[in-house]
Amino acid sequence: MQSALALARDLIARRSVTPEDGGCQALIAQRLEAAGFRCESLRFGAVTNLWARRGTARPLLCFAGHTDVVPPGPLGAWQSDPFVPLERDGRLYGRGAADMKSSIAAFVLAAEAFAQERPAHSGALALLITSDEEGPALDGTVRVVERLKARGEAIDYCIVGEPSSVSALGDTIKNGRRGSLSGRLTVRGVQGHVAYPHLARNPIHVLAPALTELAATVWDEGNEHFPPTTWQVSNIHGGTGVGNVIPGTLELDFNFRFSTASTEASLRERLEAVLRRHGVDFGIEWLLGAKPFLTRRGELVDAVADAIRTHTGRTPELSTTGGTSDGRFIAEICPQIVELGPVNASIHQVDEHIALAELELLPKIYLDTLRALLP
């Protein structure tokens, strides 16, 4: 099997700050078509997506990832140009090196090698690549899943190439993710002069006792697969900008990261009950960003874990921590999803990088997983 380094370098060199793709998917499609894949470019709004499939039978194993990257930040803080891949001290540097162009390069190398090794393999192999993972995620994987669902295409196993490893490649795989429920709370008061508080109703004062209770609330204890649900305030604003006016309203943004021990409905009901109990006059705009999903031990988890042990000697820890991923959308049509990718210590940071040794092992782990699940 060829090295994934050359392809990773080529992908990093393409400026694909979300939602741009920078020509990455066209390059990927060209290589996959040569390996017998049927490639579809699916564009929704400003977002480019690639669905590439080889074979029509079941089971279908899908590699999923994204070609878009976050902005590099201040260029002067980087030791080298973030879009000019550079090898230094056993690492490959560049924006997207860890999140997640190296994983995509490893996907492609594994898929090419597998197609050559087993041209008449059982089942089917696919890649789902988007350029809208780091952005709003409105026209990317979620829209591709809707298209697949409408035409009756289901996925049996999915490996998402997100950087899941903590200290060394394969020490952790994600077998699920928490849900994300956000809200914008508006507290209604009565504006007035600070010298005449009896003629006003200060929404900051009204909310304060409820906010204290919400911050101290234990929403659940989690379970064997998920940590406890958390609630955090991310923004708060009230006031007119001057010191002698009691504000008429207050706005507060918050987020739940919730386990399967709670539901969207239960969290909404409990939060609103606290506000009502404290006499808060309020309105809330709710947004469900993701439902929690979980893949229990089974064929996919076992195959990935076995491949990791073969090539690294490590037994991976199963984890559901961290933020959301596009796995939340794929879970609509796929019962078994894991995330396996490089060490995540440098993602979204200046001087993002991947160890060259990881880049050599990752396609081998993916290839062995294919061998186990599509004999």
The predicted-structure confidence for 133-163, as pLDDT tens digits, reads as follows 999 999 999 999 999 999 999 999 999 999 9
Residue 234, H or E segment: strand 230-238
Q: Are 79 and 148 within 8 A, CB to CB?
A: no
Give tens-digit pLDDT for 46-98.
Answer: 999 999 999 999 999 999 999 999 999 999 999 999 999 999 999 999 999 99
- With a pLDDT cut of 90, the percent of the chain lying above it is 98
- With a pLDDT cut of 70, the percent of the chain lying above it is 100
State residue 81's pLDDT score. Answer: 97
**Which residue from 306, 309, 312 is spatially nearest to 369, judged by alpha carbons?**
306
CA torsion, points 146, 149, 153, 157, in degrees to nearest 10? 80
State residue 125's pLDDT score. Answer: 98
- Upper half-sphere CA count for residue 337 (Cβ side, 13 Å): 25
Q: Are β-strands 230-238 and 157-160 bridged in parallel, bridged antiparallel, or unpaired?
A: unpaired
What lies within 8 Å, CB to CB, of 197 at 6+ separation is 246
Q: Give the tokens for residue 213.
A: 């209770």
Give tens-digit pLDDT for 305-325.
Answer: 999 999 999 999 999 998 889
With 0-12 / 13-18 / 19 or more C-beta atoms within 10 angstroms meaning exposed / middle / buried, residue 268 is: middle
Q: Which residue in 21, 68, 351, 352 is the catalytic one?
A: 68
| 133 labelled catalytic | yes
Instruction: Tell me the mean pLDDT in the region 29-35.
Output: 98
State residue 1's pLDDT score. Answer: 66
Give tens-digit pLDDT for 218-266.
Answer: 999 999 999 999 999 999 999 999 999 999 999 999 999 999 999 999 9
Q: How far apart are CA 367 and CA 16, in angstroms?
A: 27
State residue 2's pLDDT score. Answer: 76
Average pLDDT across the chain, whole number: 97
| 68 labelled catalytic | yes
Instruction: Tell me the mean pLDDT in the region 109-129.
Output: 97
305, amino acid identity? A
**Which residue from 336, 342, 337 is spatially nearest to 356, judged by alpha carbons?**
342
37, amino acid identity? F
Q: Please determine, for residue 207, whether its predicted confidence score (pLDDT) is greater than 90.
A: yes
State residue 137's pLDDT score. Answer: 94
State residue 326's pLDDT score. Answer: 96
Q: Which residue in 133, 134, 358, 368 is the catalytic one?
A: 133
State residue 323's pLDDT score. Answer: 85
